[in-house]
Amino acid sequence: MDLIPFIDVIEKQKLNVEGVKVIRRGRELACHRWVPEQRRNVFSVSKSFASIAVGMAIDDGKLRLSDKVTRFFTRDESDPRWDSLTLEQLLTMNMGHGEFTRPAGIKEALSYELIRDPGTSFLYDNTCTFLASAMLSAATGFKLRDFLIDRLFNHLGISDPPWGESEDGYTIGATGLFLTTSEMALFGKFLLQRGNWEGTQLVSASWIDAATRTQVPTRLQNKPDYNLGYGYQFWICRHGAYRCDGRDGQFIVVLPALDTVIAINSDEEKAEPILWAVWDCILPALQI
């Protein structure tokens, strides 16, 4: 596969992409690097890994989508909105916050005011993923990162990846996972295989299917890859694809119909043009 059209667009627009890897039918089809491969913070791509951990805990009977936050954590003051908030509403970014938040720990997360009824309004927010991570820890006795070491990372050959923690010792979940482009591509391959890895079903295929289809509308104007809905910590995008999406141009794009994964690491504030270059330059080559 020829990546030259993609490379030309990236370089012409001076987009600070670090590396790209394309996997098709389980094998590396193409790759290119602008800088040597090394682990970097993949930011909100971390959220999709958190989703897989939650799916595994649900498979184990440790969690349910209907579980309420207050099953595991008690606020200083009771509030009807907080009392009704469920794990599913966290996973779909329907908590009821009024603005994006980054809590330092559980106490701060539980202190936020919910200005809308949970489940009624999408707002992308790190607190949702952090609380889901904390619920998983309370239910399983493991930090989210540690839970995934034997359940996912070791299977995929991702050795002991760093993942940041809150001040009270929970895996942040929403961000802070450090991976290489190649490791992101392995995760994409796992997703493409609907949770199966080398003959072992690590998480139920039904969880992958549910997590990667639209669960809530997003309706973000003038953002064609952000207004097609949100799953359980995955973005739904054009061309029958879904993706993991992190700040500064971290992408894992999964195209089930084409049996293809595209992984990209970047250090670029203008991230959307990188995704557009995938559609304009890589997708046509896959459709030949």
pLDDT for 119-152, tens place per residue?
A: 999 999 999 999 999 999 999 999 999 999 999 9
Q: Any idea what the Cα angle at residue 127 is, between residues 230 and 219, rounded to 5°?
A: 30
Give the largest CA-CA distance in the chain: 60
Tell me the per-residue pLDDT of 143-189, one tens digit each, with 9 for 90 and over: 999 999 999 999 999 999 999 999 999 999 999 999 999 999 999 99
Question: How far is residue 87's CA from residue 65's CA, in Å, rounded to a whole number?
Answer: 5
| Residue 220 or 58, more confident | 58
Is residue 278 classed as helix, strand or coil in its secondary structure?
helix
| C-alpha–C-alpha distance, residues 265 and 16, integer Å | 9
- Strand, coil or helix: 89: helix
**pLDDT on residue 146:** 98
- Whether the per-residue pLDDT at 1 is higher than 90: the answer is no
- Give the three-state DSSP class for 102: coil
pTM over 0.85: yes
Domains annotated for the chain, with CATH where assigned, are 4-286 (3.40.710.10)
In this prediction, residue 222 has a pLDDT band, given cuts at 50, 70 and 90, of confident
- Using pLDDT thresholds of 50, 70 and 90, give the confidence band for residue 219: confident
Distances (CA, A) of 218 to 92, 115, 223, 230: 10, 18, 10, 7
- Which tokens in the block code for residue 287? 């459709």
Minimal CA–CA distance to 53: which of 249, 187, 178?
A: 187
Helix axes 45-59, 181-192, angle to 10 degrees: 40
In this predicted structure, the answer to whether residue 220 has a pLDDT above a threshold of 80 is no
In this prediction, what percent of the chain has a pLDDT beyond 70?
A: 100
The two tokens of residue 236 are 């739904």
Tell me if residue 263 falls in helix, strand or coil. Answer: strand
Taking residues 32-60, report their average pLDDT: 98
Contacts of 188 (CB under 8 A, 6+ apart): 23, 244, 252, 253, 254, 261, 262, 263
